[in-house]
């Protein structure tokens, strides 16, 4: 009795399975299937050496959020969707299911057929028509040929600029470094992304602000599976695995650092993806500002500022040092000119053989002598720049300036103006004038 029941059960299972026979020369097989809630296909490949890969495509005639596509090796797959880690799911088109797609895709390797019998299963709570196709290929195909909006690399889509998703079907705003981006939600969900490949070895942070008083939901996607806020019932039970939720409002803008999560979503393309959704449909003209800041650039700016300050201080010190050197040069030059003038005066006195004694007496009578006690020990003669106290005989001009006796006598021979203030000394030199005559 038990044997008969097992045999009948086996016959029922076989009756529900469709054998897909691909001959050695055939490259594809397709069929329009009248779907029951569950269908199972057995893949028989005549020669798995000819083609290394086999792509299974299913195209629904109408959207079905309960439809899923599975495969099993050695036994039919089980219809369990208790996912613990979405990025590690095997034997299941998780993108088509969680994104409620019209198309579903699985890529098998010829090595899978060496492990055991390959089964393909479809599951749905509803009955509808769909097209199923099995294609043999030399290359690792990508789902939907990346919608012609990306390139296929090693079976995964490398999306062009402004597109995201496992098959590059979703448009998204590209957030550029150090350039503020503005988004208008307009009662719709908006996708955006940051390309980490353009910021290698750099620390990036994103600042998000909004003018919404009620706030905006911000989701950071953890995998390449697109979280669709409209499918709350479908996505809610996998929420923690799909996204990291945040909230931004007018009073509470947020800033967070970005880093490569190093999971399956970044092995092919290093992108961090975001979804923005307004909380209330009542608010209109909701605007978001996204500012991607390069922290290394900020540090560079700070370092540059320090360098500029240090360079400015060094420049000021250099200018002051140069000014001091120039001043010292002209002061020494003036001293040399004065000494040269004194030497010339003495030479003239010697050559003309003046009667120095009578001539000097005549001048000194007009320059009163000043006691040394009335001067400071640090005062110097403006002509020779030597201290007054080194030569005790000091003379004062009518303009009240002091000089050494020898210095002012030598000066008056060539100039009748005070060396200090250039006033006329009003010195009468009759003896000198008679000698000249």
* Window from 166-175, 344-353, 372-381 with minimum mean pLDDT: 344-353
pLDDT band at 9 (very low <50, low <70, confident <90, very high): very low
pLDDT band at 401 (very low <50, low <70, confident <90, very high): confident
* Window from 199-213, 265-279, 350-364 with minimum mean pLDDT: 350-364
Query: If we measure between CA atoms, which residue out of 78, 76, 88 comes closest to residue 116?
Result: 76
One-character DSSP codes across 220-260: EESSSSPP-TT-HHHHGGGHHHHEEEEEE-SS--EEEEE--
Q: Does 83 or 390 have the greater pLDDT score?
A: 390
Would you say residue 148 has pLDDT above 90?
A: yes
Give the mean model confidence (pLDDT) for residues 188-212.
Answer: 81
Are 158 and 269 within 8 A, CB to CB? Answer: yes
Residue 424 burial by Cβ neighbours in a 10 Å radius (0-12, 13-18, 19+): exposed
Distance between CA atoms of 21 and 80, rounded to whole angstroms? Answer: 27
Residue 126 DSSP code: S
* Predicted pLDDT at 87: 62
Q: Does 314 or 282 have the greater pLDDT score?
A: 314
* Predicted pLDDT at 260: 61
Are 230 and 189 within 8 A, CB to CB? Answer: yes
* Predicted pLDDT at 172: 92
Would you say residue 203 has pLDDT above 90?
A: no
Domains with residue ranges and CATH for the chain = 15-141 (2.60.120.380), 164-298 (2.60.120.380), 354-436 (3.30.40.10)
Would you say residue 82 has pLDDT above 70?
A: no
Query: If we measure between CA atoms, which residue out of 363, 434, 435 comes closest to residue 405?
Result: 363
Q: In what order do the strands lie in the sheet with 17-22?
A: 17-22, 38-45, 118-123, 68-73
* Predicted pLDDT at 22: 63
Q: Look up the pTM and report it.
A: 0.60
* Predicted pLDDT at 171: 93
**E strands present in 225-344:** 243-248, 254-258, 271-278, 287-294
Question: Which residues on adjacent β-strands are paired with residue 170?
Answer: 164
Query: If we measure between CA atoms, which residue out of 157, 154, 153, 79 comes closest to residue 120?
Result: 79
Q: Which residues of 136-167 are buried (b: 16+ CB within 10 A; e: fewer)?
A: beeeebbbbebbebbebeeebbebeeebbbbb
Would you say residue 2 has pLDDT above 50?
A: no
Would you say residue 418 has pLDDT above 70?
A: yes
Are 216 and 279 within 8 A, CB to CB? Answer: yes
Per the structure block, which two tokens stand in for 296?
A: 């290394």
Rounded to 5 degrees, φ, ψ at 133 are: -135, 135
Rg of the chain over CA atoms, in angstroms?
50
* Window from 31-35, 127-131, 322-326 with minimum mean pLDDT: 31-35
pLDDT tens digit sequence for 160-199: 999 998 899 999 999 888 888 888 887 788 999 888 776 6
pLDDT band at 12 (very low <50, low <70, confident <90, very high): very low
pLDDT tens digit sequence for 31-67: 776 666 678 888 887 766 678 888 999 999 888 888 8
In three-state secondary structure terms, 256 is strand
Would you say residue 431 has pLDDT above 80?
A: no
Whole-angstrom CA distances from 277 to 186, 210, 403 are 10, 12, 93
Helix axes 405-414, 295-352, angle to 10 degrees: 80
Would you say residue 81 has pLDDT above 70?
A: no
């Amino acid at each position: 009795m038990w044997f008969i029941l097992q045999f009948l059960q086996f016959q029922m299972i076989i009756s529900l399975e469709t054998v897909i026979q691909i001959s050695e020369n055939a490259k594809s097989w397709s069929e329009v299937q009248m779907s029951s809630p569950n269908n199972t296909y057995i893949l028989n490949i005549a020669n798995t050496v000819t083609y290394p890969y086999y792509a299974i495509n299913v195209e629904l005639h109408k959207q079905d959020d309960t439809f899923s596509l599975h495969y099993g090796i050695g036994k039919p797959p089980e219809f369990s969707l208790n996912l613990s880690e979405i990025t590690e799911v095997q034997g299941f088109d998780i993108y088509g299911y969680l994104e409620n797609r019209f198309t579903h895709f699985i890529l098998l390797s010829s090595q899978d057929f060496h492990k055991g019998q390959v089964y393909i299963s479809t599951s749905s709570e509803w009955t509808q028509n769909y097209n199923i196709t099995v294609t043999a290929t030399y290359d690792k195909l990508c789902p939907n040929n990346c919608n012609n909006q990306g390139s296929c690399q090693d079976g995964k889509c490398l999306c062009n600029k402004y597109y995201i998703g496992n098959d590059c079907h979703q448009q998204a705003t590209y957030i550029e470094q150090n350039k503020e981006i503005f988004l208008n939600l307009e009662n719709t969900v908006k996708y955006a992304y940051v390309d980490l490949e353009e910021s290698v070895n750099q620390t990036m942070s994103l600042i998000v602000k909004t003018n919404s008083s009620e706030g905006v939901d911000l989701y950071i996607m953890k995998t390449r599976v697109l979280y669709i806020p409209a499918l709350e019932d479908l996505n809610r039970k996998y929420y923690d695995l799909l996204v990291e939720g945040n909230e931004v409002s007018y009073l509470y803008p947020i800033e967070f650092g970005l880093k490569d999560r190093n999971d399956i979503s970044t092995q092919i393309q290093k992108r961090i993806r975001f979804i923005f959704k307004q909380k209330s449909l009542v608010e209109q003209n909701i605007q978001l500002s996204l500012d991607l800041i390069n922290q290394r650039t900020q540090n560079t700016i700070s370092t540059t500022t320090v360098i500029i300050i240090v360079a400015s201080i060094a420049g000021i010190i250099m200018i002051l040092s140069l000014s001091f050197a120039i001043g010292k040069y002209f002061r020494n030059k003036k001293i040399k000119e004065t000494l040269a003038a004194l030497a010339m005066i003495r030479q003239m006195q010697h050559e003309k053989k003046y009667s120095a004694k009578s001539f000097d007496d005549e001048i000194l009578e007009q320059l009163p002598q000043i006691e040394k006690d009335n001067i400071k020990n640090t005062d110097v003669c403006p002509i020779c720049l030597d201290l007054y106290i080194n030569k005790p005989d000091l003379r004062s001009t009518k303009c009240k300036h002091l000089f050494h006796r020898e210095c002012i006598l030598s000066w008056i021979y060539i100039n009748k103006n005070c060396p200090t203030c250039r006033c006329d000394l009003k010195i009468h030199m009759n003896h000198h004038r008679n000698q000249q005559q």
